[in-house]
Amino acid sequence: MAGEMMQPRVSMPAATPASALPQGALFDTAPVALLCLDEPGNVLLANRAVARLLGRAPAYMQHRPLITMVHQADRRRVVSHLMRLAQGDDVEIDIVLEMPHGTPLPVTLLSTPIIDASGSLRFSQHALLDMSRRREVERTLQQTAARLDHLAHHDALTGLANRYLMEDRLAQAVARCRRNGWLGALVFVDIDRFKLYNDTYGHATGDAILVEAATRLSLAVREQDTVCRYSGDEFLVILENITSQADVDTVLGKLREEFRRPVYGVADRALELSASFGATLFDRNTRDAGLLIKQADLAMYEVKQNGQDAVGYYSPQINAGAERRRLLEADLAQALDGSQFELQFQPQVDAASGRVKGCEALLRWHHPSRGLIEPSEFIPIAEHRGHIAQITGWALVTACQAARRWLEQGLAFERIAVNVSARDLSSPYLTTQVAQALQHAGLPADMLEIEVTETSVMHYPEVAARTLRALAATGVKLALDDFGTGYSSLKCLKDHAFDRIKIDRSFVDALGRHAGNDAIVTAMVSMASSLGVEVVAEGVEHPGQRVRLLDAGVPLMQGKLFTPPLDFAGAIRFMVAAAR
Ligand code: C2E
Ligand code: MG
Ligand code: MG
């Protein structure tokens, strides 16, 4: 029978006659699983490696159709495989065999037909390659690749999309809008006071707040929307497939409410969270996804500037404001030598006697081309750009020198007040700067007053407390500015050694409009006097306010009723006149 067969396609070294080899033993002990099937596909021969691989006794396999050992799902494919083999082709197939108890075994079946002289298939021989290890390795590789891919596109702390994935998704969203004319929105979210929490309660609390924020944002939007951690405490939300701005309003309202629920279980108290939201819309005409991020960021920044915990939309006006800020930022660096700065002085008057009891120094920036710039505009920029310490240093030195000259001229004033900002309070240099300015001018420490606002104390409460103690120890006076406008003015007053409070202009303005307003001022005065703290009223503009303040027990006043801030010479003239 063998003589009728064509030579199998296995070549042998010519020098070794095939008959010399123990062919049966070779087959049986080959390190590869080898099978021989008859034409219908029943097992004729299976070597030991097959028995080992399949966990079957050789007797079990004998005369059994191979197909019965193939997993149900692969049987059709094996039938086709055998049919192709019958046409004389070498074929290869990946299938799953079934071991005892149905255990699957993935194998590659390499098959070669043995065709007789008439061209019919007589037998076929097969090698079974165990693929289970390779599959395992492939699966592990796939999982690792997927994990790496996830890490590259997601934030490790919150699990949200990171900025790279977000930029990709945003570009896709913009492209979809262009195609189908939908509306989309990008929302920039920044947690209010995050730095304060992080610094006060530690990084673990900071992390917990970020995770909580991520969860709240994700739960508040639809599944198709993307929430991403952009950086630090900044998140971005992409809203797609919306019909009008009203939809965005609804989502923003929801997000804001979500944020305002107190956070429990971090730090040792319930934390009051809030966030500032800036949104920008995109439609079929939008091209530049990167521009959208800038616009949403600007809108958010505007919300922060106006007191945070609110939502706002981008508009071209915001853009103009940002452009001006950017230009001022660049020009401020040139002004730092003080040549463009001026201090003006606003006397604080004892309204009963008309005498000057002190002067507040107020900074002005004479910009070479833009004219006078208000401190409320450039101080935040200076803080943001890290220039504030230099500016405060200049103001302290200049104010102390002015006071020195007034003293030399025999003018009667008790002290000069200088404003410092949040950054100054968190800086270890402030106390040194104060001491140097005093020493340079030869001014007694108790003639200098440092004005701080409650908000700036609350920015970095622990460091601020240290700075205030150090300042008090040098003998300078401390005033709590804009009193009543913060969240916990009374607590701030109790916690620190202030000599004065300055009742904010808004309370003075409200006097006489409603009986309740007068009562608030009276309550502030009695509270201050119980703590042994002096009171100054700011922004007094009308004679009626002066009368009401005197009635409420506030003799010290500052405001346009007496004089607006004056230049150096003007302040001297005012003090001379007041002393007469
Ligand atoms: P502030 O310390 O509360 O200063 C009082 C503000 O009220 C001043 O505004 C003053 O010009 C204004 N004012 C005075 N009298 C009246 C009045 O009768 N009616 C009204 N409506 N306003 C009056 P200014 O000079 O624009 O300063 C604004 C804020 O800028 C200051 O508020 C202070 O927080 C900050 N600032 C001023 N100079 C400096 C400085 O040298 N360093 C720092 N860090 N901040 C400064
Ligand atoms: Mg002030
Ligand atoms: Mg004030």
Residue 261's pLDDT band (cuts 50, 70, 90): confident
The fold of the 154-314 domain, in CATH, is Alpha-Beta Plaits (3.30.70)
pLDDT at 196 (0 to 100):
75
Cβ(481) – ligand 1 distance below 6 Å? yes
- Beta strands 43-46 and 500-503 are unpaired
Type of residue numbered 44: L
pLDDT in tens, 40-60: 999 999 999 999 999 998 889
What is 335-579's CATH number, 3.10.450.50, 3.40.50.720, 3.20.20.450, 3.40.50.360?
A: 3.20.20.450
| Residue 142, SS3 per DSSP | helix
Q: Residue of the nearest CA to atom 10 in ligand 1?
A: 565
Cβ(49) – ligand 1 distance below 6 Å? no
Tell me the two tokens of residue 64: 């059994």
C-alpha of residue 505 to centroid of ligand 1, in Å: 10
pLDDT at 435 (0 to 100):
97
Cβ atoms of 476 and 470 within 8 Å: the answer is: no
Angle subtended by helix axes 388-408 and 429-441, to nearest 10: 30
Task: Average the pLDDT over 382-409 and give the result.
Answer: 94
pLDDT in tens, 153-207: 999 999 999 999 999 999 999 999 999 888 999 999 999 888 878 877 889 999 9
Task: Average the pLDDT over 513-521 and give the result.
Answer: 84
Per DSSP, helices labelled H in 369-477 are 375-384, 388-408, 422-425, 429-441, 454-459, 461-474
Q: Residue of the nearest CA to atom 4 in ligand 1?
A: 362
* Mean pLDDT, the chain, whole residue set: 90
C-alpha of residue 451 to centroid of ligand 2, in Å: 6
pLDDT in tens, 527-537: 899 999 999 99
Cβ(312) – ligand 1 distance below 6 Å? no
C-alpha of residue 198 to centroid of ligand 2, in Å: 28
For ligand 1, pick from 332, 348, 362 the residue to mutate: most ligand atoms within 8 Å of CB. Answer: 362
In the chain, where the domains are located: 20-135, 154-314, 335-579
Cβ atoms of 556 and 534 within 8 Å: the answer is: yes
**Closest Cα to residue 375, out of 343, 400, 346?**
343
| Phi-psi domain of 44 (left: phi exceeds 0; alpha: psi -120 through 50; beta: other) | alpha
Across 201-211, b (16+ Cβ under 10 Å) vs e yields beeebbebbbe
Cβ atoms of 8 and 114 within 8 Å: the answer is: yes
Cβ(362) – ligand 1 distance below 6 Å? yes
pLDDT in tens, 99-123: 998 899 999 999 999 988 888 888 9
Counting atoms of ligand 1 from 1, which one is nearest the CA of 482?
3
Ligand nearest to the CA of 396: 1
Cβ atoms of 111 and 81 within 8 Å: the answer is: yes
Nearest-angstrom CA–CA distance, 541 and 562: 8
Cβ(565) – ligand 1 distance below 6 Å? yes
C-alpha of residue 501 to centroid of ligand 2, in Å: 10
Cβ atoms of 159 and 169 within 8 Å: the answer is: no
pLDDT at 4 (0 to 100):
44
Q: What is the CA radius of gyration of the chain?
A: 42
Ligand 3 (single-atom ion) residues, CB below 5 Å? 481-482, 538
Q: Residue of the nearest CA to atom 8 in ligand 1?
A: 362
Cβ(346) – ligand 1 distance below 6 Å? yes
Angle subtended by helix axes 388-408 and 375-384, to nearest 10: 130
pLDDT in tens, 426-437: 888 999 999 999
For ligand 1, pick from 365, 419, 449 the residue to mutate: most ligand atoms within 8 Å of CB. Answer: 419
| Phi-psi domain of 567 (left: phi exceeds 0; alpha: psi -120 through 50; beta: other) | beta
C-alpha of residue 481 to centroid of ligand 1, in Å: 10
Q: Identify the architecture of domain 20-135 in CATH.
A: 2-Layer Sandwich (3.30)
